[in-house]
Amino acid sequence: MKTIQILLTGVMCLAAVSVRAQFGGGAMGGGAGKGLNLSGSTAKLFGDNKAFSGNMELQANSPQGPVTVPGKIFYSEGKARFEMDLAETKSPALPPGAAAQMKSMGMDKMIVISRPDKKMSYMIYPGLQAYFEQPLQDSEVDKPDSDYKIELTELAKEKLDGHDCVKNKAVVTDKDGTKHESTVWNATDLNKFPIKIEETEDGNLSTMMFKAVKLSKPEEKQFDTPTDCKKYENIMAIMQEVMKRATAGGEGAPKEGTPK
């Protein structure tokens, strides 16, 4: 299924493209257009839980080495919002000093919003009150939930992060007969929410973990672009604006909350 790899690559590339703009081409590239998509075959892993929020951590191996991206997740019927802090992200794709430099520029905090209903993803820099958008490049965006069926096979009963869980082998089959396999830990006290999802692709293990999960529906405004942010064409346009201000004012990027 490559679900976790796609999510991780999408988030990391959106972060790395910012780093690359400052530090050059050493950061991870490609895949940013996938954004953070939890719809399609991935949505079937969450069962009847069509809306939730909590802390999420993505772990996987990249060509450069192990990558860990923690953050906060908000989800409602395909729409997703992921908030991350570059200082908490661990990846050899990020050059030494990247987090400190990005913080000084106001680009350390990032929000990724995925809107399959609009076929768009949004990358927001709250410290700059800036964002840009790009089309979602995912073959599952247009496919309805009815195109997927899930089969769970119990493997064991385990306790995970204080929750009694049923460890299941999950096989999601799409309309064309393609099967997507993963291992999920469904918490019995959280309406069978999968607090841990593991996938192995080409011998590489990827993990998605959830904590402090709330099954209530997030506010709809969580999936909208903020009204106090200015829209830019792309990340390079944002970088040009940052450099322009630094040159004109002799200062770095504007502090969080500073109006344009």
- Give tens-digit pLDDT for 213-240: 999 999 999 999 888 999 999 888 888 8
Q: What is the mean pLDDT of residues 11-39?
A: 43
Q: What is the mean pLDDT of residues 107-115?
A: 87
Specify the pLDDT at position 28: 26
Specify the pLDDT at position 53: 97
Mean pLDDT (the chain) is 79
Using a CB cutoff of 8 Å and minimum separation of 24, what contacts does 75-79 make?
A: 75/38, 75/46, 75/51, 75/218, 76/50, 76/51, 76/217, 76/218, 76/220, 76/222, 76/223, 77/50, 77/51, 78/38, 78/39, 78/43, 78/116, 78/117, 79/113, 79/114, 79/115, 79/116, 79/117, 79/223
Specify the pLDDT at position 168: 98
Say whether pLDDT at 164 is over 50: yes
- Give tens-digit pLDDT for 52-109: 999 999 888 766 778 888 999 999 988 999 998 888 888 777 777 777 777 777 778 8
Highest mean pLDDT: which range of 36-45, 68-77, 187-196: 187-196
| CB contact at 8 A, 74 and 88 | no
Say whether pLDDT at 34 is over 70: no
In order of start, what are the domains of the chain with their CATH numbers?
A: 3-143+202-249 (2.50.20)
The count of other CB atoms within 10 Å of the CB of residue 86 is 22
Smallest CA-to-CA distance from 150 within 41, 7, 4, 52 is with 41
Compare 249 and 1 and report the one with higher pLDDT. 249
